[in-house]
Amino acid sequence: MPDPVRNVHAALEHIAHPWQPHRVASVNNYDLKAVKLLGEFVWHKHDDTDELFYVLSGLLRIDMRGHSGEMTVELGPGDVYVVPRGVEHRPRAQEMVTALLFEPSGVVNTGNAVGSTLTSAVHELK
């Protein structure tokens, strides 16, 4: 039996707190996660995988730092950006942002900053 049809906007209505990813669907070994973002996230990196952000609403800034210095990208509704594996980054939003993340199943949201107060298991939508 195929998975049920899921509506991303309806899924976001069930998310009460920012920085808590909720699995919308899985394809092969990847998860599509809906998330609300507000405030500053912790600096972190994912050594083994890229991380795709797709902004649905709001303005998301992603600060990055590495060998080539520091930079910030700004994403608005409809924008997609891939943070390359191994790049230290910190998403931040002054007002509520809704977004989708696409990354391998099992990826911890805080990457190498496990144990942060913002570390969250992936929640299943109800």
Classify residue 18: in a domain, yes or no: yes
pLDDT (mean) for 23-43: 93
Q: Per-residue pLDDT for 121 more than 70?
A: no
CATH number of 52's domain: 2.60.120.10
Please report the beta strands in the chain, taking only residues with DSSP state E, as ranges in sequence order: 22-27, 30-40, 51-57, 60-66, 69-75, 80-83, 88-104, 123-124
Classify residue 30: in a domain, yes or no: yes
Classify residue 49: in a domain, yes or no: yes
Classify residue 1: in a domain, yes or no: no
pLDDT (mean) for 65-88: 92
pLDDT (mean) for 109-122: 65
The parent domain of residue 84 ranges over 8-114
Q: How many helices (H) and strands (E) does the chain have?
A: 1, 8
Tally the domains of the chain: 1
Q: Maximum distance among all alpha carbons in the chain?
A: 49
Classify residue 125: in a domain, yes or no: no
